[in-house]
Amino acid sequence: MTDTPRSVPVSPGDPATAGKQPPAPDAPRPAAPAESGSAVVSSDTPLPGAPPPAGKPAATAEEVSGAPRYTPPPEPAGSGAPAPGNRGTTPYDATETGVAPGQPVYGPPGTGPDPNTQVYGHQMYGTGIPGRLDIGHALSYGLEKFKLNPGPWVAVTSLGLIIYLVFYLVVRVVEPSSVLGLFVIFAAVMAGLWLLQAAMVRGALYETDGYRPGFGSYFYLGSMANAFLTALLAFLATTLASALCLIPGIVVGIGCMFSLHFAIEQGQSPVEAIKSSFLLVLRDPWRVLLLVLTVVAVTALGLLACGFGLLAAGPVAVIAVTYAYRTLTGGPVSPV
């Protein structure tokens, strides 16, 4: 007598026969029950669990009536390729083929910045394409930038008036009788004015970059000692040249007008900054001279209102000079 296995169904994929004992080999096969509303099963239709006819492929699980569809389990989070809709939406979490995990993804090739465009930041002298200096546009640019961010500019420029008032009060109260005492007070005031000038240059560089600086941003000078020594060396050179004659003093003063820009933005030493400033002025000396005369006229107009006009004239002049620096060096100039 042959034992018939009782734990193996006739068709593993047929839930109707799952758990039932198989019929005997010589027993007649029961007819499939007809479902309500279904068509009559012809003799060509194979019964569930029966082997396929010769010459025909086996029916899939979806083709067998009542067979469950197999759905693969979802992959755990973080494994496999990312979803198509999430690619590039989170640069520091997305995963690309050939990119190490944790590296930023910036998009497909060809979507980055144009290598021919000018780059913001610390540009070395002569790397950009120098432009033509327009004096009228430089002043209008400085005025519009000041109007868009007047509060911090007025606050920083007010420090100059405060320094002047402190100097006046100290001289009236102390009344120094010695030359040494007067020199110490004068040196302290000049040091404060030089640092204030460097802070205004820093703010003007931010403005031409397209960033509206707050009050504290004006004093991000990098190396404050370098900016101070550059202003001191430019002052001494101008003073010594003026002692020889007025014309050499004016020439040296104009030649040093961009020295703080090179010292603050590009971190050049005082001597290198002054040399770079002279070379930049020589690129277009007549237009730079016209800019200087225009800035002097604007500053004189600011003095007419008891000095309070300098709260607006000073920032406009500094931004205009910085605009000239960026234009002559081919640096970036943000639109107004």
Q: What is the pLDDT of residue 91?
A: 36
Specify whether the CB–CB gap between 317 and 146 falls below 8 A.
no
Q: Which residue has the tokens 């699980």?
A: 61
Q: What is the pLDDT of residue 104?
A: 36
Q: What is the pLDDT of residue 84?
A: 39
| CA–CA dist 188, 183 (Å, integer) | 9
Q: What is the pLDDT of residue 88?
A: 36
Q: What is the pLDDT of residue 161?
A: 86
| CA–CA dist 78, 143 (Å, integer) | 54
Specify whether the CB–CB gap between 259 and 226 falls below 8 A.
no
| DSSP single-letter state for residue 222 | S
Q: What is the pLDDT of residue 60?
A: 52
| CA–CA dist 82, 88 (Å, integer) | 10
| CA–CA dist 188, 228 (Å, integer) | 12
- 186: number of Cβ within 10 Å: 13
Reference 190, options 295, 198, 264; nearest CA is 198
Beta strands in the chain (DSSP E): none
| CA–CA dist 244, 170 (Å, integer) | 32
Cβ neighbors of 99 (< 8 A, separation 6 or more) are 105
Dihedral through CA 230, CA 236, CA 240, CA 243, nearest 10? 130
C-alpha neighbours within 13 Å on the C-beta side of residue 211? 13
pLDDT in tens, the chain (336 residues): 444 444 444 444 444 444 445 455 455 555 544 444 444 444 455 555 555 555 555 555 444 445 555 555 555 444 444 343 333 333 333 333 444 443 333 333 333 334 344 333 333 333 467 788 899 999 999 999 999 999 999 999 999 889 888 888 888 888 777 778 788 888 888 888 999 999 999 999 999 999 999 998 999 888 888 999 999 999 999 999 988 888 888 999 999 999 999 999 999 999 999 999 999 999 989 999 999 999 999 988 888 877 788 899 999 999 999 999 999 998 889 987
| CA–CA dist 162, 220 (Å, integer) | 21
| CA–CA dist 224, 232 (Å, integer) | 12
The amino acid at 168: Y
Q: To 5 degrees, how large is the angle CA 242–CA 243–CA 246? A: 40
Buried b (16+ CB within 10 A) or exposed e, 294-305: bbeebeeebeee
Q: Which two tokens stand for residue 33?
A: 């029950």
Reference 123, options 276, 250, 232, 239; nearest CA is 276
Phi then psi for residue 203, to 5 deg, are -65, -40
**pTM for this one?**
0.61
Total residue count of the chain as it appears in this document: 336
| CA–CA dist 33, 50 (Å, integer) | 15
Reference 32, options 8, 66, 76; nearest CA is 66
Reference 160, options 201, 189, 186, 193; nearest CA is 193
C-alpha neighbours within 13 Å on the C-beta side of residue 285? 9
Question: Three-state DSSP class for 96?
Answer: coil
Specify whether the CB–CB gap between 280 and 123 falls below 8 A.
no
